[in-house]
Amino acid sequence: MTSSGNLQGTFSDKLMDVLNHVEYRRIESGEDMEEVARIRYKAYKLADILPLQGSRLIDDIDFDDHAYVFGVYYDERLISTVRIHNITPDHRVSSTRSIYPREIDALLDAGLSLIDPVRFAADPQVMKDMPAIPYLTLRIAIMAAAYFDSDRVLQLVSPQHAPFYRRVFYAETIVPPQKNRGKYNIELTLMATNTKEVGRKLLTRFPFFISNASERRLMFSRKVADTLPPLTIIPTARFVPEGSLGVDLPL
């Protein structure tokens, strides 16, 4: 009989192999943004998440200086996208805060910094054949938390997806499921991962989430010398020395 530890190892090994085919791209050109809009439209239409008629799938927040739009490419084909917000007490722009301002402001007023991954969308056809897409895409949120030394990673999700975030990301519920007050067509629940408490456990359990400092810098640096982001960024999980988590975390 296979032990649960071996099962976990097999899953992580498979995801690590998939990473060999993956590249990330920070989306900043108009042409790439149009491709992102197409992926968003396909995913949102299928799931009936947003009223699409007359809506803009690229909005002003995509270009906020604390927002980062990414494409995930598998063998050079765009398969998914996510927008990462780096929210701080001094910069409170995010889609999730526009829906739950009281709850998000309470965290920020307590001095916490947050990573808000939103606008997650995957090509529905590819998703059928590649259920690993959420792991490949949300790996970016884990990298962001490490790069910005954030206290929480938020999850604004439907109740049916909450068990996944609870199981994989050790997320805790902040707002229980409710019919949303905003523009979404579905019920939503707000969750958060306490990265300072569970970061070490998360990276140990799922080593494909590990990244080195160079990868994180390529993903998120916006220094003057780095005004043109690299065309593609290769995941580094398999290059981090065995036994290392790629980042200093509290015990």
d(CA 9, CA 15): 10
All domains of the chain in start order, with CATH: 4-239 (3.40.630.30)
Write down the residue that tokens 């068990």 correspond to. Answer: 163
User: What single-letter amino acid sits at 83?
Assistant: R
The residues, any chain, with a CB within 8 Å of residue 60's CB and separated by 6 or more, are: none
Contact 126, 73 (CB under 8 A): no
pLDDT profile of the chain (251 residues), mean per 10: 50 91 91 89 77 69 95 95 98 93 97 96 89 95 97 94 96 89 77 96 94 94 66 91 82 51
d(CA 27, CA 29): 6
- pTM score, two decimals? 0.90
- Residue spans of beta strands (DSSP E) within 39-138: 67-74, 77-87, 114-122
d(CA 196, CA 87): 16
